[in-house]
Amino acid sequence: MRSGKLTRREALEKCIAGGSLLAAAPISDVRLFELWTQEKEIYKATPTNALGPFFKKGAAETAILRGPGDPGLPLTVTGTVTDLSGKDLYDSWIEVWQTDHFGRYDLEGYRYRARVSATCGTGYAIETVMPGHYPDRVAQHIHAIVTSPGHKTLVTQIYFATDPVFVGDPDRNYKRDPLVENPELIRPVTLHEVDGRVHAAVNFEFRMEKA
Ligand SMILES: [Fe+2]
């Protein structure tokens, strides 16, 4: 079923038909459509990062990974999924997995594993805890696989500027974890109070490249 929103082409056709859009110089409709619908790429694609060995298919659709009373710093991760022109992408899915506060992956079940959809305008949000460190990895991270029709599947990881391993300067120290290939994946963390507890928040936009 179609939403009531017009495509750019439909909007342009209506403007021409209604006389509210006039070309100042002779220009064919075809050329006008070409120019109007050109998407300018203003963003770079989100850097890819290793899938790692702990991905498990079959995670449930939920935005809440954190259980009541779970130890660790409560963390909200929000953002949007867009193309390289900044346009929100409908029908995008983000699959995330991470360790708990103690640096443990759930290999038996699906704790701290989830699938969330990104909706136009509001993007996505997940409620989790700050992942712990574990022996084979230096930096705290959340894994993500993002899929969007017509775009390349993005496999990446989210890192945190507050991670002690970056010693307060992620741009200089990101190579302390050899798997962090690009400091763009390391995001600032903001802290705020919720019901007398400190909560952390991170923003992470997924910029998708056309397939
Ligand atoms: Fe990992």
Q: What is the mean pLDDT of the chain?
A: 89
pLDDT digits (tens, 9 = 90+) for 27-64: 676 666 666 666 688 899 999 999 999 999 999 999 99
SS3 156: strand
User: Residue 67 gets which letter from DSSP?
Assistant: P
Measure CA 52 to chain center.
18
The token duo for 127 is 């409620």
User: 């963003």: which residue's tokens?
Assistant: 43
75 versus 25: which is more confidently predicted?
75
Please tell me the distance from the alpha carbon of residue 180 to that of residue 49, in angstroms, as a whole number: 7
Please tell me the distance from the alpha carbon of residue 158 to that of residue 142, in angstroms, as a whole number: 5
Residue 35: burial class (beta carbons within 10 Å; 0-12, 13-18, 19+): exposed
How many angstroms does the Cα of residue 45 sit away from the middle of ligand 1? Answer: 22
pLDDT digits (tens, 9 = 90+) for 159-206: 999 999 999 999 999 999 999 999 999 999 999 999 899 999 999 999
How many angstroms does the Cα of residue 54 sit away from the middle of ligand 1? Answer: 7
How many angstroms does the Cα of residue 156 sit away from the middle of ligand 1? Answer: 11
How many angstroms does the Cα of residue 5 sit away from the middle of ligand 1? Answer: 40
User: 């775009």: which residue's tokens?
Assistant: 151
Q: 109 near 76, Cβ under 8 Å?
A: no
How many angstroms does the Cα of residue 91 sit away from the middle of ligand 1? Answer: 26
pTM over 0.85: no
How many angstroms does the Cα of residue 164 sit away from the middle of ligand 1? Answer: 17
How many angstroms does the Cα of residue 52 sit away from the middle of ligand 1? Answer: 6
Residue 148 predicted with pLDDT over 90: yes
Domains and CATH numbers, the chain: 8-37 (no CATH), 74-208 (2.60.130.10)
Q: 118 near 92, Cβ under 8 Å?
A: yes
